[in-house]
Structure 1
Amino acid sequence: MILLNKFEQFHAEVRNNKWLGYFTIFLRIALAYAFLMAGFTKVDGERFTSLSNNHPMGHYLEVLFHTGFYYTFIGIAQMLAGLLLLIPRTSLLGALLYFPIILNICILSYAVRFDGSLLTSPLMVLANLYLICWDYHRIKFILPFKRSGFKELIPEATRSRSRFPFKFFLSVFLTLIIAVGLIFTMNQKAVMPRNHISDCNSHCPDSSNPEACASFCDCIHNNGNSLDDCLNKYGSKFSR
């Protein structure tokens, strides 16, 4: 209970800082823009990327494209989440709708090792979580916690504190650096299909087993085998 009270006090302080208010507006606009563009592509009936169907993500998106109205439904859900984020009164609802969609995209990107959203999707998940926490005072009453004694109203129209939150933005900057570093390390150590066979092959000379790497690229982009099959073949060649 003490920990919850401290969190609520911290949350009130954050809500009272005008710079964090501006940051919140920026995140809402950025996330909304991403989903409005992606959703409109689906509603308009266009393919989302130009990836080859042999690519794991390209194969998934091609199948998704041929699901008919389900493909359109995903686009509508994305656009709805984006629009709700842009309206102050419905921003929390937009953030809650946004979260399962972007989390699914993030997990999918890592599952198929898709370069295009390996970095952006986890950062969008973090930004989405921030927006949900920003409106904690609006959702805390449905959480299975015992009610605290913290009853102060959180001002919506004006924010009294104008001190620039250097520590917060430093932590955001460090989070970006760590995320970029982790993704870069993963790309260097893990075998990746990349977006095109030329990109895939370009990393083979620097790999510990260029022959196995080239065989993996051929397995994905030319033969169109599954990622698991190609990884298994890569592992068998690598162990020789």
Structure 2
Amino acid sequence: MALSSTLDRIHAQVTHNRWLRYFTVFVRLALAAGFLPSGYVKIAGERFTSLSVNHPMGNYLEALHHTGYYYTFIGIAQMTAAVLLLIPRTVLLGALLYFPIILNICILSLAVRFEGSLVTSPLMVLADLYLLCWHYDRLKFILVPTPVADAAAHKPVLSNRFPIGFLGGVFATMVLVVLTVTTIYDLMPRNTLGDCQRQCPDSSNPAACEQFCDCIHTQGKPLSHCLDAYNKANALVGQAR
């Protein structure tokens, strides 16, 4: 299988680069640091943020906080994934457990436009995918039937060549993600009423923006309802012109 052999060769070259091994350790530590505090808060039974319950994310987290042992279970899962990432022998298991949790957080953050994790959660998803790719040699036997002969392919010696192209690609990806998630929405609920209102002078319809902020933070209505009202107000202004 030409494709399998090519992937094996690329994987071997990447994993036998000293600098990329250091980078992989950094990724493991960073991901573990992202889950240990948040997991502990849930196990301790504390509320995760100080967001108002009127805020879409605050409302969700408040409801989650009152789910009893389910809230604790999420914390245990997060801390377990983090600890597994810190142990070299269990990194793959940790990355597999980590992925569905962080993907759910990422989708949730995008859905409710929560700026607190709007940038970090997509980057954490990509970081975890990197770890899964790093362990491609172990995952491929699960994902794709691979001849036993391929597993015995020659592995290159450890390289000290600095992977400037790869790290440049990582930096470019991070910049692209940040630019995308920070510009994809023309209106954000922000964390407080004051923060929300500060974006209104620069919006296409400041009055409608003010009403949107009031709808979210004062009236506590769903994000979709407030967005619909904002879009209708914009449409009326467009018709008037």
Shared fold, TM over 0.5: yes
Name the CA distance, whole Å, in 2 between partners of 1:32 and 1:153: 32
Residue correspondence of structure 1 range 158-197 to structure 2 within 5 A: 160-187=158-185, 190-197=186-193
Cα shift at 1:63: 0.1
Match of 2:215 among 211, 219, 227: 219
| Structure 1 counterpart SS, 2:116 | helix
How many residues align structurally?
235
Cα shift at 1:180: 1.6
* Equivalent position amino acid for 2:77 in 1: A
Cα shift at 1:152: 2.2
Question: What's the counterpart of residue 76 of structure 2?
Answer: 76
Name the CA distance, whole Å, in 2 between partners of 1:154 and 1:123: 30
Cα shift at 1:149: 4.5
Cα shift at 1:7: 1.3
Deviations along 1:68-116, one digit per CA (max 9) or x if unpaired, are 0000000000000000000000010000000000000000000111000
Does structure 1 retain, via aligned residues, the 8 Å contact 2:4–2:146?
no
TM-score by length of 2: 0.94
Cα RMSD of the aligned pairs, angstroms, is 1.4
Uncovered stretches (5+) of structure 2, i.e. residues with no partner: 237-241
Deviates more, 1:143-152 or 1:61-70: 143-152
Name the CA distance, whole Å, in 2 between partners of 1:230 and 1:153: 59
| Structure 2 counterpart SS, 1:117 | coil
Relative to structure 1, the CA distance from residue 153 to residue 86 in structure 2 (aligned partners, 3 Å threshold; closer, same or farther) is farther
Percent of aligned pairs with the same residue? 59
The answer as to 2:95 corresponding to 1:99 is no
Name the CA distance, whole Å, in 2 between partners of 1:216 and 1:109: 19
The answer as to 2:234 corresponding to 1:233 is no
Residue correspondence of structure 1 range 196-211 to structure 2 within 5 A: 196-211=192-207
Deviations along 1:167-222, one digit per CA (max 9) or x if unpaired, are 000001111111121123224xx211011110100000010100110000000000
Uncovered stretches (5+) of structure 1, i.e. residues with no partner: none
Does structure 2 retain, via aligned residues, the 8 Å contact 1:15–1:154?
no
Name the CA distance, whole Å, in 2 between partners of 1:147 and 1:130: 24
